[in-house]
A = this chain, B = another copy of it.
């Protein structure tokens, strides 16, 4: 395995190419900092984009089906309905993850920007039908949201597993794009009387709110207190 993904015509941006990266570690790091992606697919010739939970195991993403029963039906096949199929045809998708890190305020309206890190994955999603892979994928999905949580919850039973659909998407045609730093004002704008700089943006966690029927004897676990 090399340290970088191979660029393709689809993953080479038409603009700001200096912001693009194919570094495997950089891509994984951006993916691992979030758990909600935007999954795009084509339905009746038109684009659909839905927010969806995902997890990562190595070079494979797993996408949860709860918000996406339409794409899941389209990616289906394999499994019980077509036991003879060796490989489901799958669903062409584009999966995108974006972190906003800062608002970039330039002196000119034109040079306003956003500091961000994003990953775009192109590929074909296929429904996970192997029970063992499904269990592993569900653990990855839970642990992607809260690392360590899958060990501190009741695993899915047979009925729940049957009601859960997960798509698999290999990381192969993938790129990251990153903007950092301050505004790039025109030299002639340097003396304009406008504040310029960056407003950092962060995702933060508030005080955990126990469920209504929570047993007060159960302390907040360590993996939550570090969020």
Give residues in A with beta carbon < 8 Å to B: 10, 14-16, 35-36, 38-42, 45-51, 53, 66-67, 69-70, 92-96, 98, 100, 103, 105-110, 112-114, 116, 118, 120, 122, 138-139, 142, 145-146, 149-150, 152-157, 160, 163-164, 177, 182-183, 185, 189-215, 218-221, 224, 227
Q: Which residue of B lies closest to A97 (CB)?
A: B51
Contacts of A220 in B (CB 8 A): 195
Verify A219–B195 contact, CB threshold 8 A. Answer: yes
Q: A42-B42, A46-B42 are in contact. Are A204 and B205 (CB under 8 A)?
A: no
- In the assembled complex, the Cα of A213 lies from the Cα of B50 at a distance in Å of 41
Task: Note all chain B residues with C-beta closer than 8 A to A193.
Answer: 215, 218
User: A198: shortest Cβ distance to chain B, in Å?
Assistant: 5
